[in-house]
Amino acid sequence: KALKIGMMPADGIGREVLPVAQRVLSLTPGAPKFEFIPLPAGFELFTKTGVALPEETIRCLKEECDGAMFGSVSSPSHKVEGYSSPIVQLRKNLDLYANIRPVVGVRGTRDEDKWVDTVIVRENTECLYIKSETIEDTPNGKVAKAIRQISERASTRIGKKAFDVALARQEMRSRLGTAAAVGQAKVTVCHKANVLSTTDGLFRESVRAVKENDSISKGGAGRYHEVEMDEQIVDSMVYRLFREPEVFDVVVAPNLYGDILSDAAAALVGSLGLVSSVNAGDSFIMGEPVHGSAPNIAGQGIANPIASIRSGALMLEYMGYTEPALKIYRAVDHVLREGNVLTPDLGGKATTDDVEKAVLLALGA
């Protein structure tokens, strides 16, 4: 039986890079059989129909699909009546509470001791992204306010996810054969509890309790004790990430900090066009490149498809198909290391098509 994957390229370069991921997935030796189902979503769809995420898309994902991939959406920065970002809606609707974003360097482009190999585990459902905003006129002009929600439940489950990711990575590292700078699995809790002691305080306490409760509740059988835990305040986190990225293994953060941290980490490895993610719940996985719709390069055929290709592999990995996922990671690493087929964001002259061909060649597809 084929795996059914809902495909939502959405807007901008999402439409150029998601089909590449689809072809790579279907041509990867040893990958399961796929049935890709194209599904409408996006801002352009909204401008045409008044709906950014049709009910039918959600129904199909929930009832028929085993997994999904999302490209990128061109959300405007000004308020548009009736519009809300389909990616944010999808995360909520499918309860994809964790956004897992690995950031991996390219060998040879930095000193080996400054090797970047970290995963940002971003809480996906709350924080400032509940979008509870108000604005009022006051004698001193307009005042806008936003509510930031942090719950024990959401913080605990994202904490567990972070420990699970740390354990899974430990295993993948040895199978990939990359000697990671971080030998020992570690979770770093990122927060600003020194100022926001109530909200970030609850996040910090909840994640810390995950490790302690694991050994208690499982009568010593839990494995989280194998994972080291430390913490970092978000502003100095960015500083340390740039100074000494090699010290970070898994970083767990509330929604907004995680969003910002992962773009910052992308700069470290050279391009947003390299960074992949999955949105994960307890029973559904959606792959998604971290970048947006890149209107400045859309339609030119030069978008870097690697973030999407890796997102496809990451989706496979989190669905339990680690062998074909590893093949894709290795093929991408090979192309990056060779360095003669790179898109302009990485300083090269190659097109999206060229990179696809190079990856397929490295895959032996």
Q: Cβ of residue 75: shortest distance to ligand NAI, in angstroms?
A: 4
H-state helical runs in 42-99: 43-49, 55-63, 86-93
Closest CB to ligand NAI belongs to which residue?
292
Nearest to 287 by CA among 63, 151, 145, 99: 99
**Could you give the CA distance from residue 109 to residue 107 in angstroms, rounded to a whole number?**
6
Nearest to 43 by CA among 33, 51, 55, 31: 51
* 258 makes contact with ligand NAI (CB under 6 A): no
| Tokens linked to 136 | 């009022």
* 331 makes contact with ligand NAI (CB under 6 A): no
Amino acid at 221: A
User: CB under 6 A: which stretch of 145-153, 196-204, 217-225, 297-305 binds ligand NAI?
Assistant: 297-305
Can you tell me which residue has the tokens 């060998």? 107
Q: Which does 303 bind (CB under 5 to 8 A by kind): ligand NAI, Mg ion, none?
A: ligand NAI
User: CB under 6 A: which stretch of 50-58, 68-76, 110-118, 234-242 binds ligand NAI?
Assistant: 68-76
* 304 makes contact with ligand NAI (CB under 6 A): yes
Q: x/- string (CB under 5 A) for Mg ion, residues 252-281?
A: -------x----------------------
* 293 makes contact with ligand NAI (CB under 6 A): yes
| Distance spanning both ends of the chain, measured CA to CA | 22
Q: Which does 259 bind (CB under 5 to 8 A by kind): Mg ion, ligand NAI, none?
A: Mg ion
Backbone dihedral angles phi then psi of residue 308, each to the nearest 5 degrees: -75, -40
* 288 makes contact with Mg ion (CB under 5 A): no
* 303 makes contact with ligand NAI (CB under 6 A): yes
**Could you give the CA distance from residue 208 to residue 230 in angstroms, rounded to a whole number?**
9
Torsion angle of the four alpha carbons 224, 229, 233, 237, in this order, in degrees rounded to the nearest 10: -100
Which residues make up the interface to Mg ion (CB under 5 A)?
A: 259
Which residues make up the interface to ligand NAI (CB under 6 A)?
A: 13, 17, 72-75, 87, 272-273, 291-297, 303-304, 307, 343, 345
